[in-house]
Amino acid sequence: MSDKLDLMADGKRQMELCNACRYCEGYCAVWRAIEWRREFSDRDMTYLANLCHDCRDCYYACPFIPPHDFGIHPPKVFAGLREETYRKYAWPGKWAKALGERVSGFWATFVFSILFILGFMFVNGGVEGMLQPHTGENAFYAVFPQNLMISVFTLLGLWMVAGWGIGASRYWKDIRSGKSIKEKVLFKDIKTATLYAASLKYLDGEGAGCTYPSEEPAKSRRLFHHLVGYGFLLDLASTTLAAFYEHILHDPAPYPLLHPVVILGSVGGIMLIIGLIGLLYLKSKSDKDVNDEKAVKTGSAFSVALLIVAITGMVLLALRETAIMQVLLAIHLGSVAALFFTAPYSKFSHFVYRYLSLVNYAQEERVANEREAIKHAKLVKKAVAATSGISAKQ
């Protein structure tokens, strides 16, 4: 039997035991989703795995963890299955598997940076031409023509978005198959899921934080996650605003330090750097017995790749008026290109699958709450009828 089947079969065995125990009820969304099921299919397991955010509360609370014969270890099983998700649903299938297993963000950054340096040399007629100082308006495009830069990043952006889009549609189709028309997703489910995602609700541990990196609850992981998430969004806003200035207002980069594009980009960059270093630090301190080695490797590779983007962006901003601007620009563009190229099958795709799992969860939660409310109303009606019957007799 393959490792994948072992993991899936063992996960189902563990979930059946957990469903009989239910001590962890209320720890996170996973436990309510387990409660609504009697049997666990492959697609259920994949969905639960992407709903789990590895807080480890259940592991530290469980009396049946290894070396107990039951060998219960939900965070490890889910981490292993999440890893499978990044390859199984990604597009293009075989490429995703091969690239995901062999090309890390770091190596992709290295290769793309070299390609950009070679490209700069080609465009500028050799090393000397490339190293000519370029400052002031349009300095970046003097090294690398604007149209070429737009074409390269449009292609990479399309690759990334197509990869995520196809992966999302495959994943959604799979986890939603077998649902009836009554279980359709409503706009309010999307709203609930978005609120859960934006607030990182399940990393909060009801106010105490999560048991990561050790058994002691801490809020640092949620804080660092917030810094990374919102820092990334600020950088995205900065890039979008830069495109607006350039193409609509015909005011090209580089911009002065107090320009809105630079302010948004710098604040986002600093948030990203602090958040990513924090998450990498927590990972290095996390309990080795609970970790899934492969998942730790994938997660760290993505954090390092994103950290290189943030750091090279900040260094480029600080040294853009110097003679090494061209080299820094090549490395920064290389790191961004690597991030785009590996995005569909790296840990970067995690947010896609997690968000869809939250939408599915919000729909299931709403239906379960509605059913409970109907049941409750019936019980109240029965009790009222019984009480009025007694009163009438009296």
Beta bridge partners, 210, equal 218
CB of 345 to ligand SF4, least distance (A): 23
Angle between helix axes 146-176 and 325-342 (nearest 10 degrees) is 20
CB of 30 to ligand SF4, least distance (A): 4
Residue that is written with structure tokens 């900065």 in the block: 238
Minimum CB distance to ligand SF4 smaller for 27 or for 91: 27
Let me know: does 209 contact 218? Beta carbons within 8 Å: yes
Minimum CB distance to ligand SF4 smaller for 11 or for 75: 75
Beta bridge partners, 218, equal 210
By the criterion CB under 6 A, which residues form the site for ligand SF4? 17-18, 21-24, 27-28, 30, 52-58, 61-62, 64, 72, 74-75, 78
Minimum CB distance to ligand SF4 smaller for 198 or for 373: 198
Minimum CB distance to ligand SF4 smaller for 18 or for 343: 18
CA-CA distance, 71 to 113, in Å (whole number)?
A: 46
CB of 58 to ligand SF4, least distance (A): 3
CB of 360 to ligand SF4, least distance (A): 16
Provide the residue type at 167 as one letter: G
CB of 18 to ligand SF4, least distance (A): 3
Provide the residue type at 37 as one letter: R
Minimum CB distance to ligand SF4 smaller for 53 or for 354: 53
- The b-or-e profile of 248-285 (16+ CB within 10 A means b, else e) is eeeebbbbeeebebbebbbebbebbbbbbbbbbebbee
CB of 16 to ligand SF4, least distance (A): 10
CB of 177 to ligand SF4, least distance (A): 23
Minimum CB distance to ligand SF4 smaller for 58 or for 227: 58
- The alpha-helical segments, DSSP class H, found in the chain are 3-21, 29-35, 42-51, 57-61, 74-88, 93-102, 105-123, 127-130, 139-143, 146-176, 187-199, 220-243, 260-285, 293-319, 325-342, 350-393
Minimum CB distance to ligand SF4 smaller for 22 or for 191: 22
CB of 71 to ligand SF4, least distance (A): 10
Minimum CB distance to ligand SF4 smaller for 61 or for 155: 61
Let me know: does 133 contact 326? Beta carbons within 8 Å: no
CA-CA distance, 220 to 292, in Å (whole number)?
A: 21
